[in-house]
Chains A and B, each alone.
Chain A
Amino acid sequence: MNPKPLSSTSITSTIKSRFTQGFLRALKRINRQKPRTGTPPPSSSREICKRYLKVKVAADASMACAVGSRRAWSRAMLRKIRSQSTCVKVRRRTRFRMKKKESNEKEDGNPKAMELRKLVPGGEAMEICKLLDETAHYIKCLSTQVKVMRRIADFYSSN
């Protein structure tokens, strides 16, 4: 009765196509935002910097959305992105949660694991087995993200 475990390749290919679609949609949205009267031309360095941050957040958000809520790291990433874009109330709540995590972190004495906790979204709150499992999945997704972004950039620059 148990669902057949999907092979890791099919999982990543679904995530890849979902990320590609979501990210391209986000890029289109970012590009559509630019024509506003009174704003500096889109080629100015300040506008490029602003757009850089938008692209970066869009890349992370699209990846986390493509993975969905099945993974602790994607849930943590979406929570973080949402808290940054909404009001102070939410931010205060997250800070409280962070404090709790820090106390958790101290229990785990391994300095290497602690370094990893800071790199994997939501890693501070995970027990070691969960952390290793989530890290493996996060790495697979990050390299997919890089591959897709590189192909899009190459395609744009060749045109």
Chain B
Amino acid sequence: MSSRRSRSRQSGGSRITDDQINDLVSKLQQLLPEIRDRRSDKVSAAKVLQETCNYIRSLHREVDDLSERLSELLSTTDTAQAAIIRSLLMQ
């Protein structure tokens, strides 16, 4: 196992195979709601990368919006309720 590991690390360090990249790109594709359900051979790597960028940008926007919403809510709410929320989220 350890020898296999070091070999794969070696190849990762010096020479990157197409298989490695294809594998990572298809893993990435499965995380993207826009193109998740499409067959991986129908979607080019460039398309996956483009959709990845779009998705990250939309998530960043959502974090911004939610931070804004929370900062407004904080001025009117008592965060002593944190314990309740924690139990709510841990369910």
Please report A residues at the B interface, Cβ cutoff 8 Å.
1-2, 17, 20-21, 24-25, 27-28, 30-31, 34, 42-43, 47-49, 51-52, 54-56, 59-60, 110, 112-113, 115-116, 119-120, 127-129, 132-133, 135-136, 138-140, 142-143, 145-146, 148-153, 155-157, 159
Q: A11 to B63: give the CA distance in the assembly, Å.
A: 21
Q: From A28, A48, A128, A136, give the contact of B27 (CB < 8 A).
A: A136
In the docked arrangement, what's the CA distance between A128 and B45, Å?
Answer: 13
Q: A28-B82, A59-B67, A115-B53 are in contact. Are A157 and B24 (CB under 8 A)?
A: no
Q: Give 8 closest A-B pairs by Cβ, nearest first.
A: A132-B24, A112-B49, A52-B71, A51-B71, A56-B67, A149-B66, A156-B73, A142-B59
Q: 1/0 per residue B22-55: CB within 8 Å of A?
A: 0011011001100000000000001001101101
A145 and B46 alpha carbons, distance in the complex (Å): 27
| Residues of B with C-beta under 8 A to A28 | 79, 82
Q: List 27 A-B contacts (CB under 8 A).
A: A1-B1, A24-B79, A24-B82, A24-B85, A27-B74, A31-B74, A51-B74, A54-B71, A59-B66, A60-B63, A112-B46, A116-B49, A127-B16, A136-B27, A139-B28, A139-B31, A145-B59, A146-B66, A149-B63, A150-B62, A151-B88, A152-B89, A153-B70, A153-B73, A155-B85, A156-B77, A159-B77
Q: Does more than half of chain A's interface fall in helix, strand or loop, or is it mixed?
A: helix
Instruction: Write the chain B residue with the least CB distance to A42.
Output: B75
A100 CA to B69 CA, complexed, in Å: 38
Q: Is the CB of A139 within 8 A of B71?
A: no
- Count of chain B residues with Cβ under 8 Å from any Cβ of A? 45
Chain A residue with Cβ nearest B20: A129
A80 to B20: give the CA distance in the assembly, Å.
30
Q: Assess the A43–B24 pair: CB atoms within 8 A.
A: no
Are A55 and B56 in contact, CB atoms less than 8 angstroms apart?
no
Are B62 and A52 interface neighbours, CB within 8 A?
A: no
Whether A159 pairs with B81 at a CB distance below 8 angstroms is: yes
Q: Contact check: which of A52, A129, A157 meets B21 at CB < 8 Å?
A: A129
